[in-house]
Structure 1
């Protein structure tokens, strides 16, 4: 029998496309990411000038289209991920972007414009949004890398548009590689790894683990590069800033465990995220207008971040050490599910299991 919390989340997912009926973060629309049907399925449908693609990454549909195009282009190489059409590890990215939209985190937090607001341009991504800025590194950079690696067609060149008065974003593969060489090289390695996996003699479960490792390595380094966005945090409440930091910290655990971010698993976890920006006075697990699952997620993220800080970063280091094999990473994913989906899974149990797993990794068997 599924855990009651899981059943509640499933009900949320079924109702996610009907805002008036749902009490969860709205991330799905007819079983697909928000606004998916409005995105482009052809590279040539994006703006083109003098033979160069010139998409606007500050328009929600363009940014979401990056993901649709990358998923379609890489699907033939995603066999090790599973047999379903939605098993690609890239599905977590459009779901995350959809959550950012519906939770109001892409809108202008300064109030100076109506960018992203229901009373303004709902498809606008504000350059002043910390969340929109951080997401740029997980959308524009992999899209530029995919184009460079030939996934969007032979010799496709891309030049991202930049809003007037904004000059702190890289816009081409060459420019981004010069400014963020580690991030771009990691995305290149992921896309190259997809091609190499087709000829690899390894069993599919090992290919899958390896590809997920490459994917999350690129994701984490992109997040590190997004530190340039930090000045924008001043536009938010202390509660939202705390959540933003703990949200970033949670990625370290997810990445080390090689979480399979397909559509189904990503939707399950994205539905746990708070459906609105946190305000002054919000304190999980007692935020009155968030449901139990959302309160629990905000609380657990905060706990993991605070414990790691108190331990001088050793919790993350222990976790990384424990994720030393395909087997322990599988156990790690199960633990994270328990921690987030089961409120009865005690945090001290999490700590004791990590310690035990780290010890086992020191065994000659590993």
Structure 2
């Protein structure tokens, strides 16, 4: 239990995001937000179907923008300007992946995602892009199926990548058939969101259940992508996938200002083999510390055979414990500033 208590503070240092809200909410939006489609009709229309290409950054970001806009009424009572919408974590993470070069072709065989080439291209060879597909297309199609977006599923066409088409799904029925648990959990989230009896903690519980379920397949299916990266980046990817389960147990509120601030601790570029935390010169002390703590977490997780995760989930099983964890976030920032 002493180790578990210590981890609360370690994780607080790694993930802390409890900060005062920015008075200019739009300044916190992810990159290319305003350039992305805001409504279904902004997408190209062919044969009565709106064509969405998730392998173009603005098209995928547009799915998030539509989701945030259409779900805004359900979060209006929590804060103005949709700031407390807990779906913000998804586009902000995608935006971080874009700005740090993690959506570009890691093989270097194409110009996909690079400044000298197609800057808006999302590479199917990118581990980050492939995993994120299941946190963008799946929730979007589940929202379509729930009726929140106000458009029939047969009026939407999701385009496949140039290769590995069989590793993705493209329609409501196709995704429900291939990934029934993940789609079911997203549907449950949207149904609960529309319930008059929903509350914020309940929304977080449903969201994180859907989030973690969506990662089960891609984190196993795309392990071959690790070979395209340095050992340091590949290790970061593995540890990040593990950390999500620990974050989920805390039901971290993925609101706009919180996630925006949290991402200050994430690596600002793709890691190379010479990047040894905590000695990466062009990273901030916090970014170096995040990498160290993720390595510690990954090692503990593998050493205990996930028993540590079970203990962590048990420790975070009450609302009081989760509240105490968030308070620890704030105290850590106060003592570190």
Q: Which TM-score tier does this pair reach, normalised by the shorter chain?
A: 0.7 to 0.9
Pairwise CA distance, 1:47: 2.3
* 1:320 counterpart (305, 310, 313): 313
Give matches, 1:151-162, under 5 Å. 151-157=148-154, 158-162=156-160
* Cα deviation code 1:203-257 (max 9, x no counterpart): xxxx111110000100001111212122111101111111111111111121111
Q: Aligned with 2:265: secondary structure?
A: coil
Give matches, 1:1-366, under 5 Å. 30-79=27-76, 81-157=78-154, 158-167=156-165, 168-196=167-195, 199-200=196-197, 207-226=199-218, 227-335=220-328
Q: State the distance in 1 between where 2:329 and 2:171 align.
A: 36
Contact 2:18 2:330 in 1 (8 A): no
Number of aligned pairs? 316
Contact 2:18 2:258 in 1 (8 A): no
Pairwise CA distance, 1:80: 5.8
Pairwise CA distance, 1:316: 1.0
Pairwise CA distance, 1:329: 1.5
* Cα deviation code 1:180-219 (max 9, x no counterpart): 11110010000111111xx21x7xxxx1111100001000
* Cα deviation code 1:7-58 (max 9, x no counterpart): xx999x99xxxxxxxxxxxxx9833211111011121111233222320000
Contact 1:106 1:126 in 2 (8 A): yes
Cα 1:186–1:10, aligned 2, differ >3 Å: closer, same or farther? closer
Which sections of structure 1, spanning at least 5 residues, go unmatched?
A: 15-27, 345-366
Cα 1:123–1:343, aligned 2, differ >3 Å: closer, same or farther? farther
TM-score, normalised to structure 1's length? 0.81
Contact 1:52 1:156 in 2 (8 A): no
The CA RMSD over aligned residues, in Å, is 2.5
Identify the structure with bigger relative contact order (alpha carbons < 8 Å, sequence gap 6+).
Answer: 2
Which sections of structure 2, spanning at least 5 residues, go unmatched?
A: 1-12
